[in-house]
Structure 1
Amino acid sequence: MKLLITGGAGFVGSALAISLKTNYPDYQVFALDNLKRRGSELNISRLKQAGVEFIHGDIRNKEDFDAFPPVDAVIEASAEPSVLAGLDGTPDYLINTNLVGTVNCLNYALKHKADFIFLSTSRVYPIKTIETLNFVEEETRFALSDEQPVPGASSKGIAEDFPLNGARSLYGTTKLASELIIQEYNEFYNLRTVINRCGVITGPWQMGKVDQGVMVLWIAKHYFEQQLGYFGYGGTGKQIRDMLHVADLYRLIDWQLHHIDKVNGEILNAGGGLESSASLQELTKICQEVTGKTIPIKVVPENRTADIRLYVTDNTKVTALTGWKPEIGIRQIVEEITAWLAENEEALAPILK
C-alpha cells in the first residue's frame, strides 16, 4: 500500500506516519508538510529514521500535487488547528489551508482513486449550543446531565446528531465546510471517505500552545516550573475536556484504512470519552503528582473568546461500527509526556518553556 499523510510533520501526522511505517514496513508512506508550525522541523529526522519519505510542500498549492506519486489512500491530517485562528485579523491562511487545501487533497485522491480519511474536529459543534447544556457542578469538575435541551447530548458526552446551527469558531467552520464537500465527493464521485470528528488529541511530540495542545502545555508548565491560570467559569478550573492519546487515534485510523468499506461515508466522533476526561483542576493534581512540582496558578474569572465549559466525546457510534475504544487514560498520558520532556529537554525548552 502507498499512503500520503498531509500535515505529515505535524504532531498527529508524524505519529500516524511513523506508526504505520513501523507496523507495515513494506508500505510506502509519504509525509507532506509545509513546516509552518514551530517544532515540526524536529519531526523530519524522526520520519526519516522510521523510513517515511518526507515531502516539503503545501496543500494550498494545487501545483504541488502534480509532482506527488499515485497512492492508495490519503490521510488528511493537515490543519491550522487553533480555535483562535483568524480572530485577530485576516482568516486567509486558515481558510486556504483548512478548506481550499482539503479540496486540493480531494482532487488528488480522486485522480488516483485513493481512499480518503479526514481528521475533523469536535469544534464543528456550535459554541452557544454547548454552553446551554444542562450540567452539574461537582467538587472538582463540571459534568453533563442526562436531561438535555437538544438531541446528541447526554451524561456520556456529545454525539454525532448534536445540532450544527450556530457559530463555532472560524477553525470549526472551515472543518465543517470541508466535511460537507467530502460528503459530495463520496456521493457523486464515488470516492471512499470517512470523517473523524476528533476531540482533544495529545501525547509526546505535541508542541502545545494556549490555543491548541493544552494538555502538553499544562504538563510542560509544571515541568519547567512556570505559571498557569484558571481562565473563565469563575476561575475554579472545573472546565472539562476528554483527552485522546495519539496512539489510540492511530489504532482507529489503522482499522479504517484496512476496513474502509465498513465506514465508507460515515461521520464518527472519536475522543477519549468520559473514561479519559479531566478538568483543569484534576489535571493540575495529576501533574503535581507525576512531576513532583507545584506551580503558581492565577485565577481569572472572566471567560475567554470561543471557550466552552465542557466537552466530552460520546464514542457510542464509532465503537458500535468498528469495535474501537480508547485505552490510554489521563495519568498514563501525563506520565508519557513528562518522560518525553525529560528525554528531549534541550530541544523542547526553547519551544515549550
Structure 2
Amino acid sequence: MLKNIIVTGGAGFVGSNFVRYVINNHPEVNIIVLDKLTYAGNRANLVGLPQNRVRLVVGDICNKELVDKLVSKTDAVVHYAAESHNDNSLLNPDPFIQTNIVGTTVLINACRKYNVRYHHISTDEVYGDLPLRKDLPEHGKGKGEKFTSDSPYRPSSPYSSTKASSDLLVRAWIRSFGLRATISNCSNNYGPFQHIEKFIPRQITNILSGIRPKLYGTGKNVRDWIYTDDHSSAVWKILTEGKIGETYLIGSDGERDNKEVLELILRIMGKPSNAYDQVKDRPGHDLRYGIDATKLRKELGWRPKHTDFKLGLKSTINWYTEHENWWSAEKDIVESKYAKNGQ
C-alpha cells in the first residue's frame, strides 16, 4: 500500500488536480509536491489542501541532490512536471529539452537507486497525428484509426519530441535496469486550474474579458478531450494496479474539432457562435488525435465518469467565471505574447 508519494509538477494544472483527487479519495496517502513554480505552476492551485498531508517543496527535478533526498523517503513518484506548451516550444526548445529529458533522467535514476515505484505521465502527441475522420459529428461512435500503446512515435514539435524522448528513456530503464515503472499517454485535458495560455481557458477568459476569441486556421484540428478528474482516476488505477513495464493510453472518446469546441463555449456563455476571429495557424499543427483506451478499460476496469462534454465545459466555464482573481493578473501578458505572433 502506498502511504507516501511524490508528485512532480503537482502545482500545475493536471498535477494539482491529481493531488486533489488523491487527497479526496485516499485518506491514507501523504503527498510531497515537487514543483519549480515556473509560470505554469501556482501555489494557489494547492490552496485548501490539508497541510498535514500535502507538503510543497519548491525545487527543480534536474537538481540531483534534492531529488535523491526526496525519493529515498517515498513509496512512489508520479511524474507530471514538464514544459508542455507547443507554441512555446517552437519559440525556444531549450527549456523543453532540459526539463522533459534531463529532468526525467534524474528522476528515474533516483527511483532505480532506491527501488521506488515510478509512473510517467506522457501525452498522445508523441504519436504525431491521424487523418481527419468523416464521421466526427458522431463524436467517437464510428470507425477511425486511433492511437494505441503499439502506435509508432512520430512527434511533430520540440515539445512532443522531448516527451517522446522521455518515454523512451523510461522504457530503456525498465528493460536495462529493472525500473519499476509504468507509462500513460493521455489525450487533451480540460477543467479547473488550467493555465490561460491553453485553448479552452484562453477562449473562456477572452470572453470574460471582453476580447474576441481566437481560432487557429480553419479550426478543423481535432482533439480528444478528457475531463481532468478522469485523467487523475486513471493514473491512480495504473499506479496501484498497472503491470510494471506497460504503457496505458487514457482517453474518454471525446473527439471534437477546435471550431466546434469554440462555438460551443460561445453558445454556453450566451454569445453568437461566430463571434470569434480566425488567426494564423501554428507551424506543424497536428490534424487529429484519437485515443483507444481499450487496454486500460479491459485490463484495469477503468471507466471515465465525465463523459458529457457540454456539462464538463459548463463546469469549467463556471470555475473560471468564479475564480477571476486566479487568472486576471496574467491575462494581458498572455494575450500580448500571442499578439506578437499574430495569434
TM-score (norm. length: structure 2): 0.86
Deviations 1:49-77 (A, max 9, x none): 58311111100111222432511110000
Counterpart Cα distance in 1 of 2:6 and 2:223: 30
Equivalences for residues 249-268 of structure 1 within 5 A: 249-260=231-242, 263-268=243-248
SS of residue matched to 1:182: helix
Residue 249 of structure 2: aligned partner: 269
Compute the displacement of 1:104 (Å). Answer: 0.8
SS of residue matched to 2:315: helix
Q: 2:148 aligns with which of 150, 155, 159?
A: 159
1:118 and 2:120 correspond = yes
Counterpart Cα distance in 2 of 1:331 and 1:240: 16
Counterpart Cα distance in 2 of 1:22 and 1:142: 31
Equivalences for residues 98-177 of structure 1 within 5 A: 98-127=100-129, 130=130, 133=131, 135-136=133-134, 146=143, 155=144, 157-164=146-153, 166-177=154-165
1:64 and 2:66 correspond = yes
Alignment check: 8 A CA contact 2:9 2:41 kept: no
Residue 10 of structure 1: aligned partner: 12
Change (3 A) 1:33 1:266: same
What amino acid maps onto 1:349 in structure 2?
A: S
Counterpart Cα distance in 1 of 2:146 and 2:40: 33
Q: 1:182 aligns with which of 144, 167, 170?
A: 170
SS of residue matched to 1:269: strand
Deviations 1:254-277 (A, max 9, x none): 2122213xx21111221232xx23
Counterpart Cα distance in 2 of 1:142 and 1:312: 11
Moved more, 221-230 or 336-345: 221-230
Change (3 A) 1:8 1:134: closer
* Superposed CA RMSD: 2.5
Counterpart Cα distance in 1 of 2:170 and 2:39: 25
1:279 and 2:267 correspond = no
Counterpart Cα distance in 2 of 1:278 and 1:298: 19
Unaligned runs of 5+ in 1: 147-154
Q: 1:330 aligns with which of 306, 309, 320?
A: 309
Residue 150 of structure 1: aligned partner: none
SS of residue matched to 1:310: coil
What amino acid maps onto 1:265 in structure 2?
A: G
Alignment check: 8 A CA contact 1:136 1:144 kept: no
Change (3 A) 1:342 1:88: closer
Change (3 A) 1:39 1:162: closer
Change (3 A) 1:215 1:157: farther
Equivalences for residues 164-313 of structure 1 within 5 A: 164=153, 166-209=154-197, 213-232=198-217, 235=218, 237-260=219-242, 263-273=243-253, 276-294=254-272, 296-300=275-279, 303-313=281-291
Alignment check: 8 A CA contact 2:128 2:286 kept: no
Alignment check: 8 A CA contact 1:160 1:268 kept: yes
Residue 149 of structure 1: aligned partner: none
Alignment check: 8 A CA contact 2:74 2:116 kept: yes
Change (3 A) 1:238 1:143: farther
Compute the displacement of 1:347 (Å). Answer: 2.8
What amino acid maps onto 1:204 in structure 2?
A: P
Change (3 A) 1:352 1:50: farther
Deviations 1:244-292 (A, max 9, x none): 11110111112122213xx21111221232xx23222322332133222
Counterpart Cα distance in 1 of 2:187 and 2:33: 23
Deviations 1:15-47 (A, max 9, x none): 111221222223221100000124613224344
Compute the displacement of 1:163 (Å). Answer: 2.8
Compute the displacement of 1:326 (Å). Answer: 2.2
Counterpart Cα distance in 2 of 1:321 and 1:12: 24
Residue 83 of structure 2: aligned partner: 80
Deviations 1:302-323 (A, max 9, x none): 5421212222212122222212
Alignment check: 8 A CA contact 1:22 1:50 kept: no
Alignment check: 8 A CA contact 2:266 2:275 kept: no
Compute the displacement of 1:159 (Å). Answer: 2.3
What amino acid maps onto 2:59 in structure 1?
A: G
Counterpart Cα distance in 2 of 1:117 and 1:97: 16
Aligned sequence identity (%): 27
Change (3 A) 1:254 1:348: same
What amino acid maps onto 1:338 in structure 2?
A: I
Equivalences for residues 26-41 of structure 1 within 5 A: 26-38=28-40, 40-41=42-43
Q: How many residues align?
A: 327
What amino acid maps onto 1:136 in structure 2?
A: K
